[in-house]
Amino acid sequence: MAVVVRIPTPLRKLTGNQNEVREEGGTIREILKNLELHYPGIGERLADESGELRRFINVYVNEEDIRFREGLDTPIKPGDEVSIIPAIAGGAA
């Protein structure tokens, strides 16, 4: 089933300026795969060559960080909301 995926401002260029899209998938991994299918280029911004989530990308299902659930295998059910949130970081070093 399709769920709402919230797209952060830095990635909206890839979704035709949509801040929310609907995507099918039973897990986050499937949703990311379908996102790349519909919005080419978004996949490599979210995951590295081995398919793992990039270090500075956070993904939430509803109120929970998927790193504290089952990572990319976190299951999705109808009505869930997926949020993609690039980290905000920096440093002098």
**Residue 61: CB minimum distance to other proteins, A:** 11
Tell me the C-alpha distance between 28 and 74, whole Å: 6
Stretch that binds other proteins, among 25-33, 35-43, 54-62, 71-79 (CB under 8 A): 54-62
Q: Which helix (H) or strand (E) holds 22?
A: strand 20-24
Tell me the three state secondary structure of residue 76.
coil
Place of tokens 């009505």: 79
Q: Is residue 41 at the binding interface for other proteins, with CB under 8 A as the rule?
A: no
List residues near other proteins by CB under 8 A: 8-10, 56, 58, 60, 65, 83, 85-93
